[in-house]
Structure 1
Amino acid sequence: MLIHPWDAGSDEESLAFVRANAFGQLIAGGRGRDVPVVVPTQFVLVDDRRVVLHLARPNPVWRAIEENPNVVLSVAGDWAYVPGAWKVMPGEGDPGAGIPTTYYAAVQLVCEATVVMDSEQKAEILRRQIADLDDRLVDPAEHVRLFSGIRGLELTIREIKGKFKYGGNADTEHREYVAKRLAERDGPGDAAALGHLQRRSSVSPS
């Protein structure tokens, strides 16, 4: 992932985004494969160096992890299309000549994967995963007879790569102009993108 200096996210900023967007792509390259195994999955960021999740036992990712425990957890979102006309302020020229872009956030966690087979450890992973989502469920250990159909996974984070592409290479005046347009359009993803833009550059849409 290309990360320009003006797009780079700190570890704190990147992990906060991952924590708020707990669904991503687990990528296991394995060894000698034409393409990696890519698995869409929910997960829990336990702390700043650990992620846990579970997957079905037949999932092809397990073989790839056996071959090579180094994996990437990729999370992206909060994206919004920025029309070219928004990049040209009034009086600067033809709005049709503006160059469009897409604002987005993306974080890639480079991790070492450890497969979890113990039933109690699987139950603890499941407890963490449902804790903030559904407080009506019984304790996962009540379903221990089904645990043979899943495996747990613990990811130890070795590197955090965060990219927050929200006009960081533009001057304040142009960022404020885009912020105003995002607030006016208020389409899917616009509020999240505006929040990142304001947080990262202290601009106002007013």
Structure 2
Amino acid sequence: MLIHPWDAARTDTEWQEWLATHDFGQLAVNGLPGEPPHVQPVHFVYEAERASPHAPGTHGTPGAYGRVLTHLARPNPLWHALEADPVVLLSVVDDYVYVPGPWQAAPDTPAEHGVPTSFYAAVQLRCTARVVDDPEEKADILNRQVGHFQPEGGSARAAVGEAPYGRMLSGIRALCLEVTDVRAKFKYASHKPAEVQDRIAAGLAERRGPGDAAARAHQARRRET
């Protein structure tokens, strides 16, 4: 992913706060020799402050940027590839919109000369994966996921040997992904002149299509920082 200086996350807090509310992505696992990569859509929980006890906790090493927790069905075809190469990439993209060319036209140039583009937020987490088969740890990971997605409660907790989920634990494998590197991009015309940014913001407000409000909020936020 190409990241121009003006599109880069300003701080770790910027991408971490965004990721806290964007918890569905694509997990890419290197394929076995001669096979293409596996790409698995997945809900996940990102824990910025909860690194593995095995992690040294410095940048460039496992756990440097926290961890990701998720689980997949045991019959999933990616397990052999994951065990052969535990280095994976979790990609999350959202708040994307199409920006018409006239909105992007430089000052004092014809509107039809503007170049269309895409706005989007994207975070890519490079991780070292650890497959979890221990029933107690799997139950803990499931409960952390449910606690994130259902903070209001309403579901029973997973516990080994207990109904309703205990007997289902053998049908899944959990994943603990120690985040070793992060690439974050917020592409919202931060380098454009104020006149152009104002025109884009007005266009997004008037169009009011899917993603327009979120894109406009990103644009305004990054103009203020």
Instruction: Report the TM-score when normalising by structure 2.
Output: 0.85
How many angstroms does 1:31 deviate by? Answer: 4.2
Q: What is the CA deviation profile of residues 85-128 of structure 1, one whole-angstrom value per residue up to 9, with x for unaligned ones?
A: 11126x72322221100100111000000001111111111111
Residue identity opposite 1:68 in structure 2: D
How many angstroms does 1:19 deviate by? Answer: 1.5
Hey, what does 1:103 align to over in structure 2?
119
Residue identity opposite 2:158 in structure 1: P
Hey, what does 2:220 align to over in structure 1?
198
Hey, what does 1:158 align to over in structure 2?
180
How many angstroms does 1:181 deviate by? Answer: 1.2
Q: How does 1:163-182 map to 2 (within 5 A)?
A: 163-182=185-204
How many angstroms does 1:34 deviate by? Answer: 3.5
CA RMSD of aligned residues (A): 1.6
Residue identity opposite 2:39 in structure 1: V
Hey, what does 1:7 align to over in structure 2?
7
Hey, what does 2:154 align to over in structure 1?
136
Q: Could you list the runs of 5+ residues in structure 2 that have no partner in the other structure?
A: 49-64
Answer whether contact 2:7 2:188 (CA < 8 A) is retained.
yes
Q: What is the CA deviation profile of residues 51-94 of structure 1, one whole-angstrom value per residue up to 9, with x for unaligned ones?
A: 100000011121111110000000001001110011126x7232
Q: How does 1:45-194 map to 2 (within 5 A)?
A: 45-47=46-48, 48-88=65-105, 92-134=108-150, 135-141=153-159, 142=163, 143-194=165-216
- Structure 1 runs of 4+ aligned residues shifted over 4 Å read none
Hey, what does 2:27 align to over in structure 1?
26
Distance (whole Å) between structure 1 residues aligned to residue 123 and residue 108 of structure 2: 35
Answer whether contact 1:73 1:111 (CA < 8 A) is retained.
yes
Distance (whole Å) between structure 1 residues aligned to residue 184 and residue 223 of structure 2: 17
| Matched pairs, number | 202
Q: Report percent identity of matched pairs.
A: 46
Answer whether contact 1:29 1:36 (CA < 8 A) is retained.
yes
How many angstroms does 1:163 deviate by? Answer: 0.8
Distance (whole Å) between structure 2 residues aligned to residue 114 and residue 55 of structure 1: 13
Instruction: Report the TM-score when normalising by structure 1.
Output: 0.93
Residue identity opposite 2:135 in structure 1: S
Is 2:38 the counterpart of 1:37? yes
Answer whether contact 2:45 2:148 (CA < 8 A) is retained.
no
Answer whether contact 1:82 1:103 (CA < 8 A) is retained.
yes
User: What secondary structure, in the 3-state scheme, does the structure 1 residue paired with 2:149 have?
Assistant: coil
User: What secondary structure, in the 3-state scheme, does the structure 2 residue paired with 1:140 have?
Assistant: coil
Answer whether contact 1:54 1:150 (CA < 8 A) is retained.
yes
| Structure with the higher fraction of residues in helix conformation | 1
How many angstroms does 1:11 deviate by? Answer: 2.3
The worse-fitting range, judged by mean Cα deviation, of 7-16 and 69-78 is: 7-16
Answer whether contact 1:11 1:160 (CA < 8 A) is retained.
no
